[in-house]
Structure 1
Amino acid sequence: MSCTLFIAGDSTAALKGASEKPMTGWGEYLQGYFGPSVQVDNRAVNGRSTKSFLAEGRLAAIEKDLQAGDYLFIQFGHNDGKQEDPARYADPERDYPGNLQRFIACARRAGAAPVLLTSVSRRRFLEDGAPDPLAVGAYPEVMRQVAAETNTPLLDIFAASQQLYGALGQEGSRHLFMHLPERAHPNYPDGISDDTHFSDVGARQIARLVAQAIKQCDALQQLRSHLIGSAEAVLPGGEVRPL
């Protein structure tokens, strides 16, 4: 039985145009972990929060296409925390939980399965060399709470990405993100130093973490049956490892 997996999210997951490359969203590589029975439809958009995604009618557009048996992956948080921007800011204690519940309700109305993904972590380390547990503020923990309260499957990508960064270390994790010197790429003539957005290698790594989380989630048995067991990921150092 075939189905569509929709991604609602921000720039960390979104498709990137030619003018943005080599910046890459993890959603660009998720299809590679599924056979033709699952079609990934990536609706994530740069700069969006739960609030602006809803206000712009983007969830409503997804709802028109959702069918019974589909999946709605929901990952936000990075832009919800922008207090300086009223169009995007969603208070983590009040607005953010309510917004997430609207996404969940939308999927369930259509007979689709909502899946919450905690925000993928920024590359931010503490003085002791550990990844900063507040790299995306309170939003990952709030999403965990909403998942528990609404009985919604949760993929803890924040925890998984922090584990990856911690294993690689502060310098070793640098290549996962957009760090380019001046004149290294025509799209970034002045260079770039960005610890939120992923390089192509980083996007591949995060997509692999998402696929692993699906495989480990008992609540997603139907979806994980569609995973391609031989899907491979290239790890730091060139090692190739199957899912």
Structure 2
Amino acid sequence: MKFSLLLFLALATLSSAMPTPTTKDIKVFLCSDSTAAGYGPQTTGVQGFGYYLYPFFTSTFVNSAKGGRSTRSFINEGLWAQLLDQTSPGDYVVIEMGHNDPGTPGTGGDVGVDRAVLSGVGEETVLVRNSTGQDEVVRTFGSYLRQMVADSRVVGAVPVLSGMVPLMEWTDYDTTLQKTWEFTEYSRDVSKTENVLFLDHTAYSVARFQELGYTEAMKLFPNDNIHTNSLGAEINAESFVTSLLCSKGPDATDFKGTLNEEAARIGYDCLDAEYR
């Protein structure tokens, strides 16, 4: 009994003596795909927005985005486990996925790449034969997101869900950029059920490209309607930061505290609810 009391007092004293982590001690991780991945110097033809996020954080920013990955393949290839292994309690893990998740698992374009998931946020599954010749149970996008949220919390990290950057899909004779993307809406739905902060990155990027107009916006997509050049990546980075500055919900205030004065200098207004 005396030993237990002494041990308790010793641990309490040690705990009180330990320094409280500051925002500079906290790391921010980005789990995403090629739209966020870094491609080296900005002289390259294509660049992901994660390349330009570093200067906006007082915290250490870690870009773990990997080209061609979906929620399913990011987990199955061990990239997710590698990310979690680098985290410490109190770190933030931003999950922005969706570009590579669409498709029919086990068929068509998914053959050999093993990345398509089922649409939606339910508990539906399908059994497929993957590229390794093994049977694999594939789940919905929402199910994989819920796993990532739960895994983050197990290691003490704070999960954050983010809408994906938009494709350049224009309508009305190339005057209106599509605002709504189903995988962004799935992320939004999961954020509500799991009580997780949601960053409406999609809406803020759409607003920026819409302001530029079709002709100028398309100059920022040299190879296709998904991947930006360096200037387009900077716009997506600024829209990401703006979506965080304008966010409301669980952990929003604390997460904003990881940003520095450069974030405030972006100077873009928050969008009203009608736009989003």
| Aligned-partner Cα distance in 2 for 1:19–1:161 | 20
Counterpart AA for 2:168: R
Counterpart AA for 1:223: F
In structure 1, which of residues 68, 90, 96 is the aligned counterpart of residue 117 of structure 2? 90
For structure 1, the 5+ residue unaligned runs are 180-192, 234-240
Residues 130-161 of structure 1, C-alpha deviations (whole Å, 9 max, x = no match): 11245x5x211111111111111000111111
Structure with greater strand percent: 1
Q: Which has the larger radius of gyration?
A: 2
Q: After TM superposition, which residue ranges in structure 1, 4 or more long, deviate above 3 angstroms?
A: 17-20, 230-233
In structure 2, which of residues 173, 177, 180 is the aligned counterpart of residue 131 of structure 1? 177
TM-score where L is the length of structure 1: 0.83
| Aligned-partner Cα distance in 2 for 1:172–1:54 | 37
Residues 185-216 of structure 1, C-alpha deviations (whole Å, 9 max, x = no match): xxxxxxxx311011111111111111111112
Matches within 5 A, 1:1-243: 1=22, 2-17=25-40, 21-35=44-58, 38-83=59-104, 84-86=109-111, 87-93=114-120, 94=122, 95-128=140-173, 129-133=175-179, 136=181, 138-177=182-221, 179=222, 193-218=223-248, 219-231=251-263, 241-242=266-267
| Aligned-partner Cα distance in 1 for 2:200–2:228 | 18
Match of 2:8 in 1: none
Task: Give the secondary-structure state (helix, strand or coil) at the position aligned to 1:121.
Answer: coil
For structure 2, the 5+ residue unaligned runs are 1-21, 123-139, 269-276
Counterpart AA for 1:69: G
Counterpart AA for 1:81: P
| Aligned-partner Cα distance in 2 for 1:226–1:201 | 24
Identity among equivalent pairs (%): 28
| Aligned-partner Cα distance in 2 for 1:113–1:232 | 23
Counterpart AA for 1:70: D
Counterpart AA for 1:140: T
Contact 2:43 2:230 in 1 (8 A): no
RMSD over aligned CA atoms reads 2.0
Tell me the CA shift for residue 232 of structure 1: 7.6
Contact 2:200 2:243 in 1 (8 A): yes
Distance 1:146 1:64, change over 3 A: same
Query: Number of residues paired by the alignment?
Result: 218
Tell me the CA shift for residue 120 of structure 1: 0.6
| Aligned-partner Cα distance in 1 for 2:187–2:103 | 17
| Aligned-partner Cα distance in 2 for 1:232–1:200 | 21
Distance 1:20 1:201, change over 3 A: closer
| Aligned-partner Cα distance in 2 for 1:19–1:227 | 23
Contact 2:55 2:262 in 1 (8 A): no
TM-score where L is the length of structure 2: 0.74
Contact 1:5 1:71 in 2 (8 A): yes
Contact 1:230 1:242 in 2 (8 A): no
Counterpart AA for 1:63: L
Distance 1:208 1:123, change over 3 A: same
